[in-house]
Structure 1
Amino acid sequence: MIGRRLATTEALLVLVSPDSDNELNQIEEWGRENGISVEAIDVGNDIESVYDRGTEYVGVTLGGDGTYLEGVRQFSPKQIPILGINAGSLAFLASISPEDLTDALSEVINGTATVDQRQQLQVEANDIDCTGINDVMIEHVPPENPVDRKITNLEVYAEDEFIGQYEGTGLAVSTPTGSTGVSLSAGGPIHYPKNNATLQVIPLHTHRLGVRPLIVDAETTIRITSAGPANLLVDGGRAQTTLSEDTTVTIQGAETPAHVINTSYDDGFFTSISEKLGWGVREGRDDTGSARVSAWRSPGESSSEESLYERAKRVATEAARAAGPPLRELHGQTESIEYKTDKSDIVTEADYKAENIITTVIEREFPDHGIRSEESVQRESSSEYTWSIDPLDGTGNFAHGNPNYSVSVALLEDDTPVVGVVYAPETNELFSAIRGERATLNGKPLETTDRTSLDECMLLSGYDPDGTFLTHSYRESRGVRRLGSAALNLCYLAAGSADAVWEYDTYPWDVSAGLVIARAAGATVTNANGQTYEVNRDLDSRNELVGSNGPLHETLLSHLTSADTLQTSVTSMNDD
């Protein structure tokens, strides 16, 4: 989940604790003013009665940490991001004050909030099979007779490896979001919870000198066997059971994370820790979350050091990455038996969701710019700047479960591409460039190859209607590949994964971003006549593209000319 996607929010699901009527009224009034529907559900009730799978939701909790934990339980399986409003008497997870709630919500729908993933854990024991975002506590059962044994004996395994015996009050298995106080009391570390996929095994009042807190990867399966009766509580009692002798508990990281929204009105993690534990981060300074508000930018604003092109590249990057999660989710459904009869609907939904995210972000950041998308959005403008967008380049691949598809976003100045971003969601490859600067792949510079001989080169082909390019190039080269995404073809040329690319026909949204990236990496891109390739706004005329590493270009053009001549001759003979 990427923060920019929040700009497409259509509705709020609000879990409401008792005595939160004033805060709920504020949210409902804010929703009416901003065209966002609000569904209120009393805490303890299920959201299924109002949940619609096709709606872009934000989950809001009104209450303390208990309400927040209930929100995590209901929202996380549906991948709904969570915003916690502290309307209760005690809250650490829900940290936004009621005074800031409408400003925080505005930040969310403007797409300037952030979203981090919080590791959850999965617990199985007795009749419990549930997830938790904080911890699992296994503790001794208090004896009826005060002189009876007051410790518990637990055997702990990581996968099949025996860790040891834990004798004492019990132990906790904690996520990075779980109790920092419990960890510190056992001599353990402070876990920074954002995007941290680990679990920690923590002894409670241990009776063994050698037992220390242990950190494992979230994919590690932890098994705990109790030598006697013990109480098990998940997230402070949201689920609980009593373990009998020799009962085994299985704990591992949950597959679904919690998506936690952070705004400038939240206290930062270390600020919260320092306040609750009485630690001073900086002497004589108020380290509250509100002190950071001035550092945030509203849509349409940029820092004084950021040029228009740099800002455009940043926004395009954020928008393209934000489109990735829904595309990956829907791509995973295309080969599912449940969805095979609805492939066209899935592709249509993927196109719409990706386009909606990207165009919403761009419209908020650059309201004066024009937009041209392969899909439905066409916004003309008097500005010299226009965005060219293909939210899903490679729909055929996407529909068949093939990972070679991409998101292409480009900024054009007077019809000349000047900023390009291409994102491949399945491989998490992000190609980007500004005209006249270096092209990069995930921040690392790109450069084309320097091969000059066709028989040493790998070629990429687009749509080849009569097989001419393949027929006359395959034997003369190291091979011809067709990936099914024109944007990726140009990016792989830029990255040196291919030496040349040929496209029979192109549309602006297919190649605008790739053009900037390929040329910034050193590629030469022309039409079949050797003239500089230009984006063609006339969609009814064919626009052939020939791209190469540069040194190979004249050889490639000569080869294409001879192939065309041969094909024309063969066609003429067949006509006779």
Structure 2
Amino acid sequence: METFKKTALKAAELSAKKLINIYNNFERSSIKMKSSHEIITSADLLSEKIIISEIKKNFPKHHILSEETGDNNKKSDYLWIIDPIDGTTNFSMKNPLWAISIALAYKNEIILGVVFAPILKEVYVAQKNKGSFLNNKKIKVSKIKGEKVLNTFCHGSKTENIKKAIKYYNKQKLNNFDCRQLGSASIELAYVACGRIESITIPGAHSWDVAAGALIVKEANGKVSDFKNKNWDLSSKDIIASNGLVHQQIIDTVKNL
């Protein structure tokens, strides 16, 4: 397991070095539209190339799933799940809330999660049954509930998921629960894990956006489920990650989105 962790961290660090330089000199005019609601930059593709190269160098037979291109070796029990830049829009705006997300699954169960936010200088790491850490210090979810709760939300690129997210936001605000959108699912998951916020809710979640962060929340004593309160896994279409204390309120809120 330590070899997997070292590989993921090195891949993230190599990518981060390149991305920081690009970020500091980025021109928004260079972005391209991947869909009507998603953008892509040359930085995404470069980051992906660096990460995949490092993984393949150490584990050439492993399968890789990445947001941009990925790999097709589906014979392996090991699956690396990558988002080379989670929060590309933030990146393009010189907003520091973006991260590199790398997870490893064995037989469809996440066993390693790394979320590296280079501008924030924060590295979140979790291994199955070994806890979650921020810059090598153990972290836990918050114990906050009630009116002091801070919820966040995100959504997939499909119009139906955007509508669900807006309905969720409206319901929570009308229930007097604060609700924000930070623009990076992996950072929001990491923030749940370290107790900065109480939840993140995502209709239409992609596995590459949330796989690493989901394990980080779980290992920090949080709860992660789909919208029907079933345990989240790689086949789930939606995700709720919370400190556990606010989970049922969110489940009740998303029932009729």
Q: TM-score, normalised by structure 1?
A: 0.41
* Separation of aligned partners in 1, 2:217 and 2:253: 21
Alignment of 1:148-547 (within 5 A): 309-334=1-26, 339-344=27-32, 348-453=41-146, 455-463=147-155, 465-466=162-163, 467-536=166-235, 543-547=237-241
Q: 1:347 to 1:528 in 2, by over 3 A?
A: closer
Q: TM-score, normalised by structure 2?
A: 0.89
CA offsets, 1:74-124, max 9 Å, x none? xxxxxxxxxxxxxxxxxxxxxxxxxxxxxxxxxxxxxxxxxxxxxxxxxxx
Contact 2:30 2:41 in 1 (8 A): no
| 3-state SS of 2:96 partner | coil
* Separation of aligned partners in 1, 2:249 and 2:29: 47
Q: Which has a greater percent of helix? A: 2
- Displacement of 1:340 in angstroms is 4.4
Contact 1:368 1:381 in 2 (8 A): no
- Displacement of 1:399 in angstroms is 1.7
- Displacement of 1:418 in angstroms is 0.8
Contact 1:344 1:399 in 2 (8 A): no
* Separation of aligned partners in 1, 2:62 and 2:129: 22
* Separation of aligned partners in 1, 2:137 and 2:61: 32
Q: 1:560 to 1:344 in 2, by over 3 A?
A: closer
**Identity over aligned pairs, percent:** 28
- Displacement of 1:560 in angstroms is 2.8
- Hey, what does 2:36 align to over in structure 1? none
- Displacement of 1:349 in angstroms is 1.8
* Separation of aligned partners in 2, 1:529 and 1:420: 24
Match of 1:555 among 227, 249, 253: 249
Highest RCO, 1 vs 2 (Cα 8 Å, sep ≥ 6):
2
Query: How many aligned positions are there?
Result: 245
- Displacement of 1:546 in angstroms is 1.1
Letter aligned with residue 342 of structure 1: S
CA offsets, 1:108-163, max 9 Å, x none? xxxxxxxxxxxxxxxxxxxxxxxxxxxxxxxxxxxxxxxxxxxxxxxxxxxxxxxx
- Displacement of 1:368 in angstroms is 1.7
CA offsets, 1:159-211, max 9 Å, x none? xxxxxxxxxxxxxxxxxxxxxxxxxxxxxxxxxxxxxxxxxxxxxxxxxxxxx
Letter aligned with residue 547 of structure 1: A
- Displacement of 1:477 in angstroms is 4.3
* Separation of aligned partners in 2, 1:543 and 1:490: 16
- Displacement of 1:478 in angstroms is 4.6
Contact 2:214 2:241 in 1 (8 A): no
| 3-state SS of 2:44 partner | helix
Letter aligned with residue 311 of structure 1: T
| 3-state SS of 1:326 partner | helix
What's the RMSD between the two structures over aligned residues? 1.9
Letter aligned with residue 69 of structure 2: S
| 3-state SS of 1:501 partner | strand
* Separation of aligned partners in 1, 2:15 and 2:5: 15
Contact 2:28 2:92 in 1 (8 A): no
- Displacement of 1:347 in angstroms is 5.1
Letter aligned with residue 514 of structure 1: G
Contact 2:168 2:253 in 1 (8 A): no
- Displacement of 1:377 in angstroms is 2.1
Letter aligned with residue 341 of structure 1: S
| 3-state SS of 2:237 partner | coil
Letter aligned with residue 527 of structure 1: D
Contact 2:61 2:73 in 1 (8 A): no
- Displacement of 1:553 in angstroms is 1.5
Contact 1:459 1:477 in 2 (8 A): no
* Separation of aligned partners in 2, 1:349 and 1:340: 11
Contact 1:502 1:547 in 2 (8 A): yes
Letter aligned with residue 458 of structure 1: L
- After TM superposition, the runs of 4+ consecutive aligned structure 1 residues lying more than 4 A away are none
* Separation of aligned partners in 2, 1:452 and 1:548: 11
| 3-state SS of 1:392 partner | strand
CA offsets, 1:39-86, max 9 Å, x none? xxxxxxxxxxxxxxxxxxxxxxxxxxxxxxxxxxxxxxxxxxxxxxxx
